[in-house]
Amino acid sequence: MKIIFLDVDGTLVNYQNQVPESAVKAIQLARKNGHKVYLNTGRSKAELPDFLLDIGVDGMILGNGSYVEESGEVLFEQVMSEEDSRKIVDYLHGRNLPFYLESNNGLFASEDFVEKAKPVMQKYMLGKGKTLEEVRDLDITQALHGLVLNGELYRKDLNKVSFILNDYQDYLEAKETFAHLKVGTWGGKGETALFGDIGVAKIDKKKAVKILLAHLNASEKDTFAFGDAKIDIPMLEIAQIGVAMGNGGKEIKQMADYITDDVDKDGLYKAFLHFNLLK
């Protein structure tokens, strides 16, 4: 039996939030043949649409490691303190940085997020290979599953906060202000990043994998990990075999044991086939 960890965005689903039929087939065949499959993603539970859950997996790691679930049992959950959550909201409001708060109960958008996020998300998707025609009519409420408008922003259930960067300095200042938390960027490389994010400190996808493996009494030698971005590197590092998607970034491709095809070119299925996970 092998234990397989899958990133979601750019790995299991494409940048239009669609799952290739071949990826569904790969997961279902692998599980039928006795392997276990787990999502390992930055998404919260609220961001998992039914079509993802209906594929059938053995469990999930969410919030980049802040939540671990196996066969419906919660093994680990760590959220931000209420004090930190309130300070982040006040900080972002004070600097006019639109944001959304990520939790398993929903994505709670700031008052101006939907209006300000559309051109930013369009730029993000164009950078991932989509055409102007494909993103022209982008609906933010559909692009971000689970988005809640006019919701309570002072919360006790947050695992992460994402905010629009006016420039790279916004990230640097947030990193200094919230040095006790995990502050990063996404949506671009280096100083071209589009979003900043603030998450729970001292957790990542690797630590979450260790928690799950300990629960299963399983070995790292029996693991595979699939990802496309820098945030996935810790997950690939701990796995016996780390696979980067063809559409992945330079950093993860350099350290991966194997590079498969793009998510939209049956990359997941081809890799499962290559490593004999389908039989």
pLDDT in tens, 36-70: 999 999 999 999 999 999 999 999 999 999 999 99
Question: Domain range spanning residue 66?
Answer: 3-77+204-274
R_g over Cα of the chain? 18
User: Per this entry, what is the length of the chain?
Assistant: 279
**Residue 195 to residue 193: CA distance in whole angstroms:** 6
Number of separate domains in the chain = 2
**Residue 272 to residue 33: CA distance in whole angstroms:** 12
Percentage of residues of the chain with pLDDT beyond 70: 99
**Residue 228 to residue 176: CA distance in whole angstroms:** 28
CA atoms within 13 A on the CB side of 142: 9
Identify whether 180 is part of a domain: yes
Strands 223-227 and 3-6: parallel
Q: Where among 175, 199, 223 does a domain terminate?
A: 199
Give the Cα-Cα-Cα angle 81, 87, 91 (nearest 5 degrees).
145
Tell me, what's the pLDDT at 190?
59
- Say if residue 191's pLDDT is above 80: no
Tell me, what's the pLDDT at 155?
97
Answer whether 205's CB lies under 8 Å from 40's CB. yes
Q: Where among 169, 199, 229 does a domain terminate?
A: 199
Q: For the chain, give the mean pLDDT.
A: 94
Reading the block at residue 30, the tokens are: 């692998």
- Other C-beta atoms lying within 10 Å of the C-beta of residue 53: 12
pTM above 0.85, yes or no: yes
User: Domain check: are 210 and 167 in the same one?
Assistant: no
Q: Where among 199, 225, 241 does a domain terminate?
A: 199
Identify whether 279 is part of a domain: no
